[in-house]
Chains A and B, each alone.
Chain A
Amino acid sequence: MRTLRALWSRFMGMFWPGSAESDLADEIESHVALHTDDGIRAGLSAEEARRRALIRLGGVEQTRQTYRERRGLPWLETLGQDVAYGFRVLRKSPGFALTTIFTLALGIGANTALFSIVNGVLLNPLPYPRSSELVTVHASKANFDQGSISYPNFRDWQRDNKTLAALAVAHQRRFTLTGVGDAERLQGDYVSSDFFPILGVKPVLGRLFAPGEDEIGRAPLIVIGAGFWARKLGSRQDVVGKTLTLDGRQFTIIGVLPGDFDLTVGNFEAGEVYVPIGQWQNTALNDRFAGLGLHGIARLRPGVTLEQAQADMNGVSDRLAAAFPQADHGVRAKLVSLRQSVVGRVQPLLLVLLGAVGFVLLIACVNVANLLLARSNARTQEFAIRWALGAGRGRIVRQLLTESTLLALAGGALGLLLAGWGTDAALKFAPLALPRDSQVHLSIPVLGFTLIVSLAVGILFGLLPAWKVAHQSVQDTLKEGGRGVSGTRHRKQDLLVVFEMALALVLLAGAGLTIRSMMVLSGVDPGFDAHGVTRFSLSAPPSMGSASAGAVRAYYREVDRRMKQVPGVQGVSIIGGSLPMTDNDDEALFWLENEPKPTNTNDMHWSLDYIAEPDYLKVMGIPLLRGRFFTEADNEHAPSVVVVDESFAHKFFGDEDPIGKRIHMDGNMATVIGVTGHVMQWGLDNDASSPLHVEMYLPFLQLGDSDLSLKDGLGMDVAIRSEVDSATTMKGIEHAMRQMNQEQVVYGADTMNQIIARTLAGRRFSMILLGLFAALALLLASIGMYGVISYLVGQRTQEIGIRMALGAARGNVLRWVLKRGCKLALLGVSVGLAAALALTQVMARSSMIYGVRAYDPWTFFGVTALLVTVALLACSIPAWRAMRIDPMQALRAE
């Protein structure tokens, strides 16, 4: 307490030195006068008495100095002086200051940008109360580790578990809204009652679904999002109790969600409207085997760990498997932490990028350390003189550290600007690559990070020259006249250049491997021709929801006929089931004609299924290998047919001819009529490794009446091939559909190329960033090389002049300089290669590279050649300058 009080008083003492100074002078004067009086009284002369008084005081100036030091905070005052001096020195060499600041700004800016991404995506807790208790719930079953849950299983899991505070499911769904302006398609979700309470979301108006209101057969209620509330209903307070017409049915609004609610996980995406799961008009809801794309979210009871909850759910699943072997054999609940579900996919990628950007900063630091080192060599005389005048070593070291910290802070401030701009650019350039990207911004932790990095960097690269100065001999320096020619100075700079060359090589190798991976991937044949293909959705008019199967079939044929008439359209197919390169996958279960009927569903064979119209192969450009594809004649009146892909044919029929084979499916026998090429369902990079690989095509018009019905949702997907550009074609399609019926909505159009690109968004994001960092590293490293060789040439001007005067050819000088640069570059490369071989293994483990080995010799050779070439180019400028040295001038300068 006393210390604090004294500190405060000293701190304040710094600001009013004037009055305290005169006060002290008065006090000392009074002391001397009193002492002199005593002396006179003892019989001394006035002069002698005063002299003795001054001697006993110990010198007026010394007293003042110790007093002053006690009055203020000397170290703070020195710091102030150092800062002011630093500013003056830097202002005198603006070129040096600007180069340093800009180099650091690049390094710190890149780090800040990436840290703000890592902070927003990985470090910030999810915006829900006690978010560590939240888990996502899936059904693990044959072919699917995190498969979807059937509704009856969900209800039983919900009832039987002992470890979950609550369990809810959700299913993303689009609805057609009519009666409020033009008909429009809304993004929405089916949810069970506990969904929002689990997340701790409170309504801003009205209420949420009560327990039981989510069950089948209850009243149709709806909760709306704040965005929809504002957009369609003018944020009116009286909306609760009003009704909305979705897919032709009336739903009563009971509440409004807050505007900041935003979650994408599993099969849930925050939308505009939320409807209780029980309102889903899908007969399969009561089928214990049907997954239906339901995924769950749950909150663990307080104190329960994920492992305990998983063990409990395993028990629940096993009991259900025993009770319902037909449907639940091999089906188990699977819990994954919500954080893992949301960001687990990008975590390794971001960490690798963070490491890479750290390397860039290191290189920037090394460059600046080199500059400072060269500068401190030039300043040795300044330091020696200050030293001779009484400055302590500590004081000079502190001065150097102050200067480097000033530079680093200025670099950090500029870097912050670059980071703000760079983060925006990165996120805009690579949309969809990251979850939670709305959380990424320059927040307090990010600012703190930048400040700490800047300070650390300033001290780190300032220490090296400071250490050097501290170990210098004053006398030698003064004798030398400040011209340093000792070899050790160069050795230190050489080491730094070798180090940054090595770092740059590691980054180049990493970037090279991701670029090679993308090249390999862009050469991968997806099994179809994406060019010219557009996929979109169409929602039928609400009246079709209750139409008979015959009317629905007639409707589909009419849709087909009208779309085909749109100019440019070459083929149209309504599609159901799976859609390649998307999360839409659908599976059919079957057994072969010569096999006994499996006793339970899970023992059947699985295949991806594509429900398509006759044009489908033409639209997608999938090759037909044998037999034929569907025709208009393969309709509801004709015998069931199926077309399989080559993987299917190979797996189930081996070398036999698949044409004419028959399979049991849905209580029906279908005959194989054709074989197509394999299509990559799971993405260019994941298809080969996915467990479910076989594919079959089923004719759309042979779907059963209930599957065909539009009762449980009016939307359907359509794929078209067009010879004109997608945007023009889609205008034509929209026009044709509106003409057919005003209540039809066309939405969500994407070209197949966009869909494929989306599957590679994460890879592209890391490729671009790694490439950018590597380019930055290459630039900085070559600037470093340039600086060191220039410095060398500058220091050796006289020596070179003498050599030339003695007859050395200009070519020899050029070779001498280049050789020196080359030696450094090659040393750096060999160290870098060793490090890169170790680090690319990390990338391989986080599956950032595809189709190339972590030690791909071509990549390593290529980046080595690139680095050495650029390094030599950087040397060639000073080398050229060395060659042009005029011996006479160089000697005259002596």
Chain B
Amino acid sequence: MGDKTDVWQGTLALMVLRTLETMGAMHGYGLARRIEQTSGDLLQLNYGTLYPALLKLEQEGYIHSHWGLSDNNRKAKFYELTKAGHQRVKKATAEWEQTTAILARFLTPAEEA
């Protein structure tokens, strides 16, 4: 477990939204696996924390859910981005890029100084 990273506070929501944006409607388990795969199996997701995060996003109106059937005919709850969700992804992505850019300036070794 040592080389796997826990999910940082607050980033899970963005990962969920971004994954739903690229993949379309997904159920909770699929989402969890997809997030792990996207991270190159570097992230260790505690699946139990995913559901409260999904509930919060749904309460905030960024996603909505409906029951359906999975690929192998299991009953599952599918999540999908709403219009507000799409906007949120755009905005959050921009914010995140800015934050990392700023941090990168601090963390990369100073060359010109």
- The chain A residues found within 8 Å of chain B, CB to CB, are 2-3, 5-6, 9-10, 13, 23-24, 26-28, 30-31, 33-35, 37-38, 56-59, 62-63, 66-67, 69-71
Contacts and interface: CB of A to CB of B under 8 A. Distances in A.
B52 A70 contact: yes
4 pairs of A and B residues whose beta carbons are closest in the complex: A58-B48, A63-B48, A6-B59, A34-B29
Given A6-B56, A10-B59, A70-B55, A58 B76 contact: no
Contacts of B60: 2-3, 5-6
Contacts of B72: 34, 37
Nearest to A71: B55
Chain A CB count within 10 A is highest, among B51, B60, B75, for: B51
A66 B60 CA distance: 17
Contact of B61 (A5, A34, A37, A58): A5
Contacts of A23: 77
B51 A27 contact: yes
The B interface is mostly helix, strand or loop, or mixed, namely helix
Contacts of A70: 52, 55-56, 59
Nearest to B70: A34
B49 interface: yes
A31 B75 CA distance: 9
Contact of B51 (A2, A6, A33, A67): A67
B51 A24 contact: yes
Interface string B25-55: 0011110010000000000001111011001
B4 interface: no
13 contacts: A3-B60, A5-B59, A6-B56, A26-B77, A27-B28, A27-B77, A34-B30, A34-B70, A35-B47, A37-B74, A66-B49, A67-B51, A71-B55
A601 B35 CA distance: 104
A259 B58 CA distance: 60
A9 B70 CA distance: 28
Interface residues of B, number: 22
Contact of B27 (A34, A37, A62, A69): A34
A886 B61 CA distance: 73
B51 A35 contact: no
A31 B52 contact: no
Given A24-B51, A62-B48, A63-B48, A30 B76 contact: yes
Contacts of B70: 30, 34
Contacts of B59: 5-6, 9-10, 13, 70
Chain A CB count within 10 A is highest, among B27, B33, B47, B76, for: B47
Given A27-B28, A30-B77, A37-B74, A2 B48 contact: no
Nearest to A58: B48
Contact of B47 (A33, A58, A71): A58
B74 A57 contact: no
Given A5-B61, A34-B76, A56 B49 contact: no
B52 A66 contact: yes
Given A66-B49, A70-B52, 15 more contacts: A2-B61, A27-B77, A30-B75, A31-B27, A34-B29, A34-B30, A34-B74, A38-B33, A57-B47, A58-B49, A59-B48, A66-B48, A67-B51, A67-B55, A70-B55
A8 to B, nearest CB: 9
Contacts of A59: 48
Contacts of B61: 2, 5
Contact of B52 (A9, A37, A67): A67
Chain A CB count within 10 A is highest, among B59, B61, B77, for: B59
A71 B60 CA distance: 12
Chain B CB count within 10 A is highest, among A3, A23, A58, for: A58
A460 B51 CA distance: 41
A827 B90 CA distance: 71
Contacts of A69: 52
A57 B76 contact: no
A9 B55 CA distance: 10
Interface in B1-26: none
Contacts of B76: 27, 30-31, 34
B79 to A, nearest CB: 10
A31 B29 contact: yes
Contacts of B29: 30-31, 34-35
Contacts of B52: 63, 66-67, 69-70
